[in-house]
Structure 1
Amino acid sequence: MKSLRRPDWLDELHGLLLVALVLTGIGTALGVVSILAGQPVEAQVAVTGGSAAGPPAGVTFGSWIAVDIVHPSAAQKGWALVAMLPRQLLIVAALALLWRVVGRARRSDPFGPGIAPAFHRLGLVLVLGGPVVWIVDFVARTRLSDSAGVGGTYAVLDFVVPLAWGFCGFGAFAIGEILRRGRAMRVDLDGVV
């Protein structure tokens, strides 16, 4: 049992964040290249009509279907990029900030200067960036759906998305505040001793 090493969870998390950052960056780059290369772009359109006998089996009026735009125009490629890229860049930015602060905490004092403000910056990026990305994504998906040329325009404004970004952001604020208070307590205790 003594030969087993005790895991350093900051080190493990730092490595995992690096893997997530690299894979997300590669996935984002591949997605951009795929869209720019003219690969089919998926759009959601509303089902607005059918034959005189009614809609096909399993489809009701007012629902949506996914369509592939096989030969997307430049505008459709642009809307597909706008629908995908800001969200991916926000994820990459959040992962990079978190990777950086965990690395600093691992190499030095977790209650050292700069750690709590770094978590506050991460929270700010998530709380402000999340809703902006959410609106941009909605507008881009609406425009892409409108440009498909079949069915009606369809895009869902999912209110869970900004709540999730906000929850993550406020979690980062809370961690930063815990670290700030821990640092203040340490300074007070050092003054007493």
Structure 2
Amino acid sequence: MKTDWLTEFHRVLLIAALGSGTVCVLGTVATVARDAVAVTTDATSADVIVTDPTVTQLVLSAAGALPTYLLATAMLVLLHRLVGRARRGDPLFSGGTVRKLRTVGWLLLVGGPAASLLEFLARFALSGTVGTGGNYAEFDPARIAIWMVTGFGMLAVGEIIGRGQDLRAELDEVI
């Protein structure tokens, strides 16, 4: 029996989107419901445990990871819809496929660095709330690079499909 990889990938994307969405919700609930928050305060990654966090500390703690999970969930949902569309019709050179690929590309290209920056700023602000010598947070430029390469990759695939769409239209006119 031949495996239908498009169907399998569609299922994987659904499971991943549901998992990522669940992590968003449960992570936020767990952060808000916690009676303690761990705050990294220096380059040695020493954590200070705040046993009675303020609302601001809880919000900043949640904001330290939530943007990436929200972005990943949005990307997975968009890809799930794109693959679902592909399973139902002639997706390869359609305008809808090109638009969805470009949407995912721009989401990753712009949203990825924005999410990383928001998380950095939240962790930086959170560290300043514990009063142990100023603000501190690590910024990982590799995360930005990964988001951007992935975003450019999706835009490039969208461009390839768009060019195929143009060639197909030309061929239809010739025939």
What TM-score results when the alignment is normalised by the length of structure 1?
Answer: 0.84
Aligned to 1:119: 101
Of the three residues 66, 71, 93, the one matched with 1:85 is 66
Matched, 1:33 2:51: no
Question: Deviation string for 1:80-117 (max 9, x for gaps)?
Answer: 12212222111111111111111111111122231011
Aligned to 1:184: 166
Q: How many residue pairs get matched?
A: 174
Of the three residues 96, 103, 114, the one matched with 2:77 is 96
Question: Deviation string for 1:14-55 (max 9, x for gaps)?
Answer: 110000000111111111111111243222112xxxxxxxxx
Aligned to 1:75: 56
Name stretches of at least 5 consecutive residues in structure 2 with no aligned partner. Answer: none
Aligned to 1:58: none
Q: Return structure 1 stretches of 4+ with deviation > 4 angstroms.
A: none
Name stretches of at least 5 consecutive residues in structure 1 with no aligned partner. Answer: 47-61
Amino acid at match of 1:9: W
Aligned to 1:154: 136
Name whichever structure is richer in helix by fraction. Answer: 2
Matched, 1:13 2:9: yes
CA RMSD of aligned residues (A): 1.5
Larger CA Rg, structure 1 vs 2: 1
Aligned to 1:167: 149
Shift in Å at residue 151 of structure 1? 5.3
Shift in Å at residue 7 of structure 1? 1.3
Of the three residues 68, 82, 86, the one matched with 1:105 is 86
